[in-house]
Chains A and B, each alone.
Chain A
Amino acid sequence: MASLAFSSTSASPVALRGRPNKLAIGVAQSGACHVSARGSDRKARLFITRAVAVEKKVSRFEDVAMAPPDPILGVSEAFRACTNESKLNLGVGAYRTEDLQPYVLNVVKKAEKLMLEKGENKEYLPIEGLAAFNKATAELLLGADNHSIQSQRVATVQGLSGTGSLRLAAAFINRYCPNSKVLISSPTWGNHKNIFNDAGVPWSEYRYYDPKTVGLDFEGMIADIKAAPSGSFILLHGCAHNPTGIDPTPEQWTKIADVLEEKGHTPFFDVAYQGFASGSLDEDAFSVRLFVERGFEVFVAQSYSKNLGLYSERIGAINVICSSSGVANRVKSQLKRLARPMYSNPPVHGARIVANVVGDPNLFSEWKAEMEEMAGRIKNVRKRLYDNLSQKDKSGKDWSFILRQIGMFSYTGLNTSQSENMTNKWHVYMTKDGRISLAGLSLAKCDYLADAIIDSYHNVN
């Protein structure tokens, strides 16, 4: 590998002045410097044999390649760079009002005002986060009277929104269940794979989306989960599946639970949209509560980015519902041990906002009302889009899947080139898998979008 290694006594790497591009200088495995000499070989070697102290060092990160743009967050960046008037950002799942403006919830503004007045200090939180927040979040998820909470079987640790909470759980699985793998849906949120890869947890996929029906491939899902080795972790979206918007029905959830029980799998829920999907916090928690009732040990990652609009505050939690309080205590202590070398303790601001909103009955009711409004707007937009598509599209294609899907996203069924056409021709920014974020769509723009979708679907391959 080292083409020309010279002894480490003349230890300085040499940058050839005036010719930085012709010589690649890097640090080889042994720690000695090697030079891959091109062009004027002899001259280069003569120069290098001199032990010269450099004024300007050559970086050892020379060979670091440019990372590809993130498929989701990269869309927003591209949107911002676009100058066309009719541009539409249906990329990242951040809620917009009918005027396509970002929305800070009223309850959040009130909570922040309260916090400003209280003037609390900014001391470090404990590693597991704000106690008031942890209590509130577990109760929100499971219901305050849930047996698992009453018997202290829930280990809750505040995390950096959904991503951070998933990462803590993944790191835990890597350390304590090193022979287990995770099954994720096909498709799923793009960052799931990154999280498990970086945590060193092997994963495979189970069938989920059926392009023919633009619905759930239930048989395929059950078969793949059954085929997985016993004791696998099955990553399930609690509600409002991202990116498809397709959720199992209650009956299907029951059957899924049956299979997990049969195979001794552990359910691992990603709950990023509680309250946001149907408008009701309890209804959206149905799937998680079902599994807990049935006696499973469950991992649940929560996020308040969407339902409280706290995107950039990075507030969420990882909950592990265990079979005994002793286990829960120990699991919690190990989650903390994983968090400490990642960020020491979580950020306080978002946690306080949530605790204030949930802790005050008035603010809590107000929040529920605002959530219903947000979910309501999305349902209206779905309806309008469906109406426009059905009217405009003369081919007789059934677009009703848009109505059946739920939550912020809709899987349009467009393929990569069709999605690219949406962007290139119509300036509609979306991810290449055909996912559109309805939260970024207004009633006024449904017409335009319908045209774009019909054109891309029928005229592009």
Chain B
Amino acid sequence: MQAQTRLNLSLLHQDQALFSPHLFLVTLVITPTRTILFNYSLSQKRTLYLKNLAFSSKLQFSARENIERKRRRTRGTKMAFRAMISSRATQQSKWVPSAGVARQMSSWFGHVEPAAKDPILGVTEAFLADPSPDKVNVGVGAYRDDNGKPVVLECVREAERRIAGNLNMEYLPMGGSSHMIEESLKLAYGEDSDFIKDKRIAAVQALSGTGACRLFADFQKRFLPDSQIYIPVPTWANHHNIWRDARVPQNTFRYYHAETKGLDFSSLMEDIKNAPNGSFFLLHACAHNPTGVDPSEEQWREISHLFKSKNHFPLFDMAYQGFASGDPERDAKAIRIFLDDGHLIGCAQSFAKNMGLYGQRAGCLSILCDNEMEAVAVKSQLQQLGRPMYSNPPVHGALIVSTILGDPELKKLWLQEVKGMADRIIGMRTTLRENLEKLGSPLSWEHITNQIGMFCYSGMSPEQVDRLTNEYHIYMTRNGRISMAGVTTGNVGYLANAIHEVTK
């Protein structure tokens, strides 16, 4: 499929004259960018362009005629496109229907361009395709043990043994597993949280962190249609996709300080202050993705204080609770600070990393409301948004989460295992930094150990990353983000050497 895609693109480049400006947009989209600020998709841009072009001639025809004209026009384009493609003897197989059946020679979807590879998940695809024995995958944020192997936690295996075969597979209620939700809330808001006791939290099971953010974005669009979302620079690339597809306008606020490879706190505060009152902010609760740079406790307090005076709404994306420091309570500190200060928050939780449940899509979206009645109403609306997306969420991951968190023994085991994962990563950070310093690198690498969580923002440029990939078979995202989870005692030396080579 990859070869096919590349082939099509090269054809497009050669024949730009035939299809004019929108092809330039295709090339724009192909370059992975770390912050994607378009609010329009490629096809929307193309549509706008074509609409403008056609508008003047369109006026002289009736609506019905215009539909006919458009169909004929796009058919004509498709036929020409098709002729161009086939004239280059590609490997596309062309189905010729036998006599007496419907002729579907040109496709209704011939105008569909190939989508750009997802910048993050595309890295793993490229890695898998590489035959080199030295290859290292520090791309996607999935935990690996010291042998570079994926890990299924013991507590998860035990939970699966317990739930195997004894339950039916009936649909969960629309909001998901209530047991799982209860446990998730205790983890995020505190075991003895009054908000839980007072039933003030509207919470639904969601499709991991992505699904939780998407539900919130859709909820925001429907009930606060004039609101926008402020997203840090940089952030996980999919955040932009989520709010864009939910059609909520996006803004950014400064976060990462490139010179220090740390937090640009003064700019952060300035942007928070300059945003109109009552804005919605996306905050990473801990282990910021992709930089690994978190505000200190003191800084969080100041942020919370400023939020109060500006009446901003904080949505916490917490994908790494327990995974950052090794202690879930500590990793939830930012949230607890905001709660103590009286904020009404939103929280998107994911169990993909901290319980290793990646493919199970287990997560939770919660919104703290004024009172129980409001929480019930908000929850009902969140369910209403989920219904036409997937009806009700998948059960398996939810059962694992609730079994583990609901059983004191299993929960204790989980806490140990999550600390183990966090400790290994912290150890690797230290080792990587030491190696680089031993190699005599002129640059400062202290940010490797200052940053926290799965990712390290190395500060390398896209060109340097390309060199790492092409010359050393080291795979990471082009923003210079290294997934520390993919670093092992076996490859840390090789990695340090390669980084030193491309940065010296």
Contact = CB atoms under 8 A, between A and B. Distances in A.
Interface of A: 8, 11-13, 20, 27, 29, 31-33, 53-67, 70, 73, 77, 92, 94, 101-104, 108-109, 112-113, 116, 119, 121-127, 147-148, 151-153, 160-164, 167, 171, 175-179, 191, 194-195, 197-199, 229-231, 257, 261, 266, 293-297, 305, 309-314, 320, 322-327, 329-334, 336-338, 340-350
A31 B156 contact: no
Contacts of A312: 169-172, 392, 394-395
Query: What are the 3 A-B residue pairs with the smallest beta carbon separation, nearest first?
Result: A348-B359, A312-B395, A160-B390
A350 to B, nearest CB: 7
Contact of A326 (B90, B238, B377): B90
B1 A126 contact: no
A341 B210 contact: yes
A374 to B, nearest CB: 14
A122 B102 contact: no
B454 to A, nearest CB: 14
Interface residues of B, number: 113
A67 B370 contact: no
Given A313-B169, A336-B118, A175 B390 contact: no
Interface in B21-78: 41, 43, 47, 64, 67-68, 70-71
A198 B245 CA distance: 12
Contact of B102 (A12, A59, A191, A261): A261
A125 B103 contact: no
Interface string B441-472: 00000000000000000000000000000000
Given A59-B344, A314-B393, A330-B113, A194 B387 contact: yes
Contact of A325 (B92, B97, B369): B92
Contacts of B367: 61
B16 interface: no
Interface in B336-393: 342-344, 352, 356-361, 367, 369-370, 374, 376-378, 380-381, 383-385, 387-393
A120 B277 CA distance: 49
B308 interface: yes
Contacts, number: 323
Given A67-B380, A313-B395, 20 more contacts: A54-B308, A61-B378, A67-B377, A67-B384, A73-B173, A122-B357, A151-B93, A160-B394, A161-B390, A230-B67, A305-B171, A314-B390, A323-B104, A330-B112, A330-B114, A334-B112, A340-B121, A340-B241, A343-B208, A343-B390
Interface string B110-133: 111111101001000100000000
B118 A127 contact: yes
Given A122-B360, A329-B4, A342 B171 contact: no
Nearest to B102: A295
B108 A177 contact: yes
Contact of B360 (A55, A102, A348): A348
A289 to B, nearest CB: 13
11 contacts: A70-B383, A112-B165, A148-B95, A151-B93, A160-B207, A324-B94, A325-B92, A329-B1, A337-B115, A341-B245, A346-B361
A111 to B, nearest CB: 11
B135 to A, nearest CB: 17
Nearest to B150: A121
Contacts of A313: 169, 394-396
Contact of A102 (B107, B161, B168, B244): B168
Contacts of A147: 95
B79 interface: no
B370 A62 contact: yes
A340 B392 CA distance: 18
A334 B117 CA distance: 10
Contacts of B376: 66
Contact of A343 (B111, B207, B308): B207
A349 to B, nearest CB: 4
Contact of A124 (B94, B113, B140): B140
A334 B342 contact: no
Contacts of A229: 64, 67
A162 B387 CA distance: 11
B210 A344 contact: yes
B388 A198 contact: yes
